[in-house]
Structure 1
Amino acid sequence: MSLVSGNTTKKQTSLPFSNTSTSSTNKPYLQNEKLWTAVAFQQEFTESLNNHGLLGKKKKFEQDPTKRKPTLSQKMGLKEPPPKKLTDSQWNNVERNLVTNRLSHLEDGCPICFESFAFNDIVCITNCGHVYHQNCLQSFERCNIWRKRSCPMCRLEDYQRKETKLHLSLLKNTCALMVQSLCRGNVMRKIYRRLYFAKYPDRHEKYCVSKLSSINERLESRVIQDEKNVDDFLKRIDEQVKQSLLILNMQEDQWNKVESKALGREEKDEECPICLCAFKGRKCTITSCGHIFHEKCLSSFEKFIESKNQKCPVCRQIYVKKPISFDE
């Protein structure tokens, strides 16, 4: 006959997300579950208010969920604990699944900026299997108004990201396919052209004649254009030489004509085109092209230009100058 002790043991219950039994006495929240559950609920409520900025200060957006400290409710097993950092083998499985199942996502480019991935871009992959530019994803995280770490595509909370080089292999494959297609196309066109012309020799003759005629036309047009450019260049040189000789050999009667023409205009300038001040009371000078300036303004302009061929500030012509007495 067996003896049964008078001290009856209580039935042990485990919390939903707890991995430890309630018999451990080193954790104080296991001694009075109701009190500590109320405290945990109060902390969660305060944290939710902080996240929405209702208490004055918004909680900072946490970039890495694996570095987050567990709350009291998570320690008690009332909520899921913070995610653990994925291992290299788990990341390899994520990349392998992306390559085998959803390779078209890489071809479409970044879902945030809608631009394709380039060789110099820094690309990151999430544990939910989506690929983004690193700058785009970080900008999305900074501009997230919900202050939650959720994937822009599938809204997976507390996702993890890691730099990847899957786009480089895809770009290499696409470039290799393009080179192969161009080479094969060129080879096949040559083979087809050779077989086609061997079967139809008259068409081969027409093809060669048309190619030679097009080459001759291009050469002829190029020669005509070069001759025209040379003629225009020589014509401009002749005009500039004539103008320079005319300016250098200007006589007194020619200066009188220029002065009378400048002073006799109906829309006569009453201010210097450089400093926009009146001519009266200052020494003035007139150019051979018929424009009047202050003497100091024109000399300052010439020092500023520092070129041998001085050109008029108004009409951009080569000139010689002469003092003039300007009266209103």
Structure 2
Amino acid sequence: MLKNKDRSSKKSNLAVSAVALQDHILRDLQLGHLSVADPCKTKVQKKENKSKSLRRDSAAMVDTGLRKTAEGPKGEDPEKEYVLDPTPPPLTLAQKLGLLALPPLPLSSDEWEKVKQRSLLQGDSMQPCPICKEEFELQPQVLLSCSHVFHRACLQAFEKFTNRKTCPLCRKNQYQTRVIHDGARLFRVKCATRIQAYWRGYIVRKWYRNLRKMIPPTDAKLRRKFFEEKAAHHEIYECSICLTPLFFHCDGRQAAAGTSSQHPRETVLLSCAHLFHNACLLALEEFSLGDNAPFHVCPLCRSCYQKKIVEY
């Protein structure tokens, strides 16, 4: 009799252990929605329970014509970090019987700070998401207790696809998740740096173009071209000494303004970008030879010049 009792007790213990392990496996694989009962009956029961709850919650409403003002959302800090699963899952029967180890306790704020520092040292927020291989930018971002970082939507899709809660990189089971904003912060800094770089480049290019318009180059050919363009922009049409029209326009064509084009007068271009008749300038140089010899100054801007005969 005692032997039969011992055998029956052992069989019952084995049955209880098997049921406990089976329950733990179902919960671990997030298959708790499965039921041994007929699924059609369970659906009917759920519908009946919903209809009963709606009937209980329903109450007579009197329309007074006054609409209540909808309360807006409370002002919360968008940069606030929070834990998505602060409470641990309930213990399974196998864990209560001591067949399996207990789940880890929720991490404290100091432990989360250490996990975040480890993630920052690894540079996970600067790298693309390991699941979708795209930048984090301003999308919601989650940090796992194993210090790996993912898009929140990508991690939810991965959990739904695999039907279990394991890290996609290190395969850690029953991890804890925390919402962070490091990727969004880095993306804002990157965008601000890019905008500043474009603006500074625009300012420097604009300053350099203005500088090239003001300071003549050292190369002889470029210097000659610089002064010719400068004189063309001035649009000088007459000699400032004799006050007669010049026969050289800014576009290089001869003018027929009152005189014959068969005997054009030579036009000289000064380094200060002023145009004169060559004969008028020579006469002025001979007239003022004793004043500033051996240097001559422009009769308009009073600066020392170099001259070049303009060819048409």
Tell me which interval the TM-score lies in, with the shorter structure as reference length.
0.3 to 0.5
Return the structure number with greater helix share: 1
Ranked by relative contact order (alpha carbons within 8 Å, sequence separation 6 or more), the top structure is 2
